[in-house]
Chain A
């Protein structure tokens, strides 16, 4: 009890500052970069390579680069013979890379769609919007995105799905993919731990079957084989079929990640919830998942990032995502040979999204776990 004290409390010895030589940038550099003659040699050698390469890259990418050319006259670029980047290909082709074959005058619509997606991500990432209304925001935004892409109403012309392309396709596939795969994966993970043998069996078979085949073969099945089983005259959109394949594939992987989190939760947590009389779904929703999902944020985001990039595999079934659009942009004879610039541009876009996910997961982990010891 706090009110019982035995005599005066002794004053603790005042804490002193750490010796100056063990803190600060110089101490860090000495400990990590120059701790011996071998480490100093490696440091200097690597520094030489990094600086040489960086200077070379700056020369190529900025100093000698050509930023635009008139009327597809790429001769100026070709005269550089590789000493400078031809960013003119991006200046000229960025609309095609970003939006594919979407009608040129209507490309404000996919642009708006991309911005809506990014806005949706930002809103969803902020903890103060984590309320039931967020689900409504998602439904409304996704509906608006559908209207913008297809059109046909509000004096927007109709654009068939075959003409969609570029970044919106990548964002649609990955957003819908993760938005549906994640809840599905939670159900599958719970099912795998179910005491009911039938449910457990179905979930195990699902995970093992899907994990046992490459995503490419699943996409092939969705695009080539699946229509053969449909009755005559019935046709399901190709993008939708690929989307379903991606959802099923991602859910199988995510389910194993979620299951790891469920297994990491101490048994006592389940017992305490049981002893209180909470029902299965109350226990799962209030006690188990909030803790289990927190534990697996790093591998979850790892998988999300993987699937964001894996959506580029849809190119093999002829869907025009960001990467496919980039490849197609340099097919034109005038622009052949400038693949490096285009791929750097695309890589930058992918990197922005993936890096944002990674940073966000780190901060989320920190805020959610700061109260736990």
Chain B
């Protein structure tokens, strides 16, 4: 295992590796509500996918199925060659390889920034404490807040907290990063600092799946944009295709709505 942020991120470029995520005809219901309908989506290694769509379209549920925060009921999901089943051991293996960043940061308020970042490496990966701290500091430098390491999450601004959350997920040295609306809970002036961090991460070759309404970000980094509505994937393609020449009425309507809002 590599001990610095740079070495970890450099190791991610594996052009011949199998697809990072395979979702095949995935279905999910909340009670009787059909929230995911026959979703089929493959994410290649190093690919950056942005998922967008109106609220309630199932995009958060989809991304949360990838590390089984939600369980799908039909279809198959294979992450880094491991199929998601009820087998807890394969689930642990998957969660070690998949980092997640939440809309509401979800930092642990009773632990310092550094402890937030070293907790999982120490307890899950069994990394020695000194090594885990060195790794955490190198990621905190990457997200440009090493000087906050001894503070508690409550003492940081929203944008800083979200950058810590990104560093915390990276400390597990994942192969895939999931972002669930990472900028939706932020004040406007803090969105840019988080997006900049994510752009930097995208440039390093990380496989990323990102639910976001930030179309500028999608244009800048996404290899592919996936548009969801009412639990199904309506359309997908490169950002240029999607934003310049949308094929479906639903996407056109969605784009006109979010562009009017900006």
Residue ranges of A at the interface with B (Cβ–Cβ < 8 Å): 1, 266, 268-269, 271-272, 274-279, 282, 286-287, 290-291, 294, 371-373
The answer on a CB contact under 8 Å between A1 and B193 is yes
B96 sits at the interface (CB 8 A): yes
Distance from B157 Cβ to chain A, minimum over Cβ atoms (Å): 11
Is the Cβ of B172 less than 8 Å from the Cβ of A276?
Answer: yes
- The reply to whether B102 and A268 form a contact with Cβ atoms under 8 Å apart is yes
Structural contact, A287 and B69, CB atoms closer than 8 A: no
- List chain A residues, Cβ under 8 A from B67: 274-275
Q: Tell me the residues in window 94-110 of chain B with beta carbons closer than 8 Å to chain A beta carbons.
A: 95-96, 98-100, 102, 104, 106-110
Q: Answer whether residue B124 sits at the interface, using C-beta atoms and an 8 A cutoff.
A: yes
Separation of A290 and B67 alpha carbons in the complex (Å): 25
Interface residues on B, range: 20 to 34
- Judge whether B254 is part of the interface by a CB distance below 8 angstroms: no
Q: Are B120 and A278 in contact (CB under 8 A)?
A: yes
Pair A291/B109 contact, Cβ less than 8 Å = yes
Interchain residue pairs with CB less than 8 A apart (16): A1-B144, A1-B196, A266-B104, A266-B106, A268-B106, A271-B102, A274-B95, A275-B98, A275-B169, A276-B120, A278-B119, A278-B120, A282-B124, A291-B108, A371-B154, A372-B109
Give complex CA distance A373, B152 in Å.
10
The minimal Cβ–Cβ distance linking B153 to chain A, given in whole angstroms, is 9
A277 touches B96 (CB 8 A): yes
SS class, residues of chain B in contact with chain A: mixed
User: Which chain A residue lies CB-closest to B172?
Assistant: A276
B30 sits at the interface (CB 8 A): no
A371-B123 in contact given A1-B144, A1-B196 (Cβ < 8 Å): no
CB pair A274 B109 closer than 8 Å: no
What B residues does A286 contact at CB under 8 A?
119, 123
Q: Which residue of A lies closest to B109 (CB)?
A: A372
Which A residues lie within 8 Å of B119 (CB)? 276, 278, 286
Report the Cα distance A291→B109, complex, angstroms. 8
Partner of A277, one of B109, B124, B144, B154: B124
Complexed CA–CA distance, A279 and B119 (Å): 12
CA distance A277 to B171 in the complex (A): 13
Bitwise interface map of B from 156 to 172 toward A, beta carbon under 8 Å scored 1, else 0: 00000000000011001
- Residues from chain A with Cβ under 8 Å of B196 in the complex: 1
Question: Do A276 and B108 contact each other (CB < 8 Å), given the known contacts A371-B154, A371-B155?
Answer: no
By Cβ-Cβ distance, the 4 closest A-B pairs, closest first, are A277-B95, A272-B106, A276-B120, A268-B106
A310 to B83 alpha-carbon distance, docked (Å): 55
Asked if A272 and B102 sit within 8 Å, CB to CB, the answer is: yes
Query: Are the CB atoms of B108 and A287 closer together than 8 Å?
Result: yes
A266-B109 Cα distance, complex, nearest whole Å: 11
A118 to B: closest C-beta gap in Å:
30
Q: For the A-B complex with A271-B69, A278-B124, A282-B124 known, give 10 more contacts whose Cβ atoms are closer than 8 Å.
A: A266-B104, A268-B102, A272-B107, A274-B67, A274-B95, A278-B120, A286-B123, A291-B109, A291-B110, A372-B154
